[in-house]
Amino acid sequence: MEAKLQGKVALVTGASSGMGRATSLGLARHGAKVVCCDLQKKANPAGFEKDLATDTTDLIIQSGGEAIFARWTSPTRSRSRLPSTRLCPLDIVVSCAGYWAPFRKFAEEDDELWAKMSAVNTLGTARVARLALRQFLKQDVDEVWGSRGRIVNVSSCAAVTGFPGETAYSATKAAVNHMTLAGALDHAKDSININCVAPGVVATGMARPNFESADTIELMKRATPWPRLGKVEDIAGAVVFLCLPESQWITGQTLAVDGGMTLGVPPRKVARYLVG
């Protein structure tokens, strides 16, 4: 594989598990040095990864790449600096850290849930982006790569389509889509790309309760037109693309990677109206 990100430094939040882990591995395969940020170095034990016992950084190093772990409980805490790293400067920031809780009706949600979802999903993503932007603005544009820096946020299909039992989560993720758009407009002239990937249902530790409930998984399958649900590699592939030279003229976009979940009413549901 051509190392199109050779010499670039990427910081990934939520890097120990799931999509953040797959994205870290994907960026490293393209030659980026990766600062893997998470609450803990160990992968979420509920995850579906076959190599759960090996930390993300070790996987990258074993494959000949360069990575360090930075324990970072922000995005929830107020911090004025990104985790210090001997790998600076910084070129790419991917915000995968997120908080989701199993379903409840809007009337049953409380301020505590909204505060936690907002802190991690919205404020955390905004804070990481702002700190990255301040660093990017001190750096020159890389004329070949096409940018001064890249930010890729991770929101959710729930941000654009109604899904029962997820009001707080949906609202905090919708804010991520919109900060992507508005922030990109502010910084396009600086040659800084801000994009977002909105995943559908993906097999990760976070989503394991869904995968273990026969009813929920049936609902998720019916809501997803594509014949299978998502894998972390589906998301990582899109995120990595948004970091490559080829995507330098894309900014402010939220790319749905969801097997068509947000396209409309799934065909199987209306099939009986279409036949005959």
Residues that bind ligand NAD (CB under 6 A): 13-14, 16-20, 38-39, 44, 47, 72-73, 75-76, 96-100, 120, 124, 154, 156, 199, 201-202, 204-207
H or E element, residue 268: helix 267-274
Q: How many CA atoms lie within 13 A of 10 on its CB side?
A: 38
Closest to ligand NAD by CB, 192 or 196? 196
CB of 144 to ligand NAD, least distance (A): 30
CB of 87 to ligand NAD, least distance (A): 18
- Nearer to ligand NAD by C-beta: 51 or 142? 51
CB of residue 76 vs ligand NAD: minimum separation in angstroms? Answer: 5
Q: Residues 34, 67: contact at Cβ < 8 Å?
A: yes
Nearest distance from C-beta of residue 123 to ligand NAD, angstroms: 10
13, 96 contact by CB (below 8 A): yes
Class of residue 260 by CB neighbours under 10 A (exposed 0-12, middle 13-18, buried 19+): middle
Nearer to ligand NAD, 199 or 248 (CB): 199
- Local structure of residue 227 (DSSP, 8 states): S
DSSP state of 189: G
Q: Output the smallest distance, CB 16 to ligand NAD, in A.
A: 4
What are the residues whose beta carbons fall under 8 Å from the beta carbon of 165, sequence distance 6 or more? Answer: 102, 103, 104, 105
If the CB atoms of residues 145 and 201 are measured against ligand NAD, the closer one turns out to be: 201
CB of 187 to ligand NAD, least distance (A): 22
Judged by beta carbon, residue 76 or residue 118, the one nearer ligand NAD is: 76
Q: Determine contact, residues 237/26, Cβ cutoff 8 Å.
A: yes
Residue with tokens 């004025």, as numbered in its chain:
80
Nearer to ligand NAD, 74 or 147 (CB): 74
Q: How far apart are CA 117 and CA 206, in angstroms?
A: 14
